[in-house]
Amino acid sequence: MFDSPRPSQGAEPAALSAGRIALVLLALATGGFAIGVTEFAAMSILPDFAKGLGVDEPTAGHVISAYAAGVVVGAPILAVMGARLPRWLLLVGFMGLFAIGNALSAIAPTYESMLLFRFLSGIPHGAYFGVAALLVASIVPLKMRSRAVSTTLLGLTVATLVGVPLANMVSQHFGWRWTFAIVSVLAVLTMALVAIFAPRDGGDPDAIPLRELAALKNTQVWLTLGVGAIGFGGMFSVYAYLASTAQAVTGVSASMLPTIFAIFGIGMMAGNLIGGWAADRFGMKAAGGLLLWSAFALSLYALAAPRLETLLVVIVMIGIGGGLGSILQTRLMDVAGDAQTLAAALNHSAFNFANALGPLFGGMAIAAGWGWTSTGYVGMGLALGGFAIWIIAYFTGQSAPSLQTSETCD
């Protein structure tokens, strides 16, 4: 199954100049930025649209869950349906659907319609990142593959640094609806950039749904997804309640929250760059190291929360754990065989499963009376759970020839 790697797994990349490759990466990162803003900013402006839609904040939180559900459902369906189409065309189509979903969110008249429109907005999320990763991997040398994939995710992390604070300010000064409207405009811009700069691949006429679904029979695919679905949950356990913790425990004012989220974004950006480099240099070993780093950083959260200076240091450390995404994305390319599109897209289904799991467990700990900072210990447990799955994935995957590809690249 692994004897004949697909183009994204090691064939010579298309002959594009360094400048053209940079423009392709910029186009894809723009889409990642738009997705990051709509995903992460929705958490930070939740009180605003809760009030606007006439519901309480816990009820409004289901809007965030609806988006995550759209990602989980949409990624495999769109990946299987679009496996035969050219990647550049798929990306344009995915961004078109994303633009429509966010435009409708901006004008949603009721809470029920908002749930539907956020679900629609989430459908292309995972498939976009999956196809973008495959496109990038096909145009760069193998030894730079993980770093290039991490660049496509860079827009997502920049969104946490710049987009979330800006979305807060836009919501406060102009209304929450403008946040989703701006995201829709960014999606249309991405469509134009991809259409102009992305290489015109011919698609895969031999792709069939059953071949893509074959990825679901691969134990290594499921284990890799499990690492992300559980291990990533630790970061979200803290992130979802960071604003409340900062105000209730650290004692900061609401005006300080955009800065705190921006500091968290710095950690995520650094982690994304570190993760891409480490994946190219150390392969799957990098994921294990990053999970242990996350567990350590999360264990410090409760101790650091009472003082702003220590809180800022620790949330940067926790944010670095976000670099796990690019490592796992590359790993899935290695283990998926012929089911590249589906496996790459499922990485973001796992990411959003973690986005739901972490806040759920963190909220349960808070509701049980363990305090706001208990989310750090919950997160540590999830990171260690992801590490346990990583151990199984790493040692059971050593016999597969293609798994050594990224391990041997300097």
End-to-end CA distance of the chain: 25
User: Average pLDDT of 2-7?
Assistant: 36
Whole-structure pTM value: 0.76
What string of DSSP letters covers 112-139? HHHHHHHHHHHTTHHHHHHHHHHHHHTT
User: For position 236, what pLDDT does the model report?
Assistant: 87
User: For position 378, what pLDDT does the model report?
Assistant: 95
User: For position 202, what pLDDT does the model report?
Assistant: 63
**Model confidence pLDDT, tens digit, residues 103-129:** 999 999 999 999 999 999 999 998 898
Higher pLDDT, 206 or 227: 227
For residues 65 and 52, what is the distance between their CA atoms, to the nearest angstrom?
18
Percent of the chain topping pLDDT 70: 87
Residue 287: band (very low, low, confident or very high) from pLDDT cuts 50, 70, 90: very high
- Average pLDDT of every residue of the chain: 83
Residue indicated by tokens 């990038």:
136
Residue 261: band (very low, low, confident or very high) from pLDDT cuts 50, 70, 90: confident
Residue 409 pLDDT more than 60?
no
Higher pLDDT, 233 or 46: 233
User: For position 156, what pLDDT does the model report?
Assistant: 78
User: Average pLDDT of 22-38?
Assistant: 91
User: Average pLDDT of 224-247?
Assistant: 89
Higher pLDDT, 292 or 364: 292
Residue 330 pLDDT more than 50?
yes
Residue 33 pLDDT more than 60?
yes
User: For position 204, what pLDDT does the model report?
Assistant: 63
User: Average pLDDT of 24-43?
Assistant: 88
User: For position 2, what pLDDT does the model report?
Assistant: 32
User: For position 410, what pLDDT does the model report?
Assistant: 35
User: For position 209, what pLDDT does the model report?
Assistant: 62
User: For position 164, what pLDDT does the model report?
Assistant: 81
Phi and psi angles of residue 304, each rounded to the nearest 5 degrees, phi first: -85, -25
Under CATH, which architecture does the 15-403 domain have? Up-down Bundle (1.20)
Residue 399 pLDDT more than 60?
no
- CA proximity to 123, closest of 60, 68, 41: 68
User: Average pLDDT of 172-200?
Assistant: 92
Length of the chain: 410
Residue indicated by tokens 């996350």:
294
Higher pLDDT, 165 or 271: 271
Residue 405 pLDDT more than 60?
no
Window from 43-57, 225-239, 301-315 with minimum mean pLDDT: 43-57
Sequence-ordered alpha helix ranges (H) in 6-86:
18-44, 46-53, 57-81
For residues 198 and 122, what is the distance between their CA atoms, to the nearest angstrom?
23
Higher pLDDT, 196 or 323: 196
- Report in angstroms the alpha-carbon separations of 157 from 35, 182, 362, 394: 10, 18, 22, 27
User: For position 367, what pLDDT does the model report?
Assistant: 82
**Model confidence pLDDT, tens digit, residues 337-375:** 766 677 777 887 888 888 878 888 888 888 888 999 999
Residue 10: band (very low, low, confident or very high) from pLDDT cuts 50, 70, 90: very low
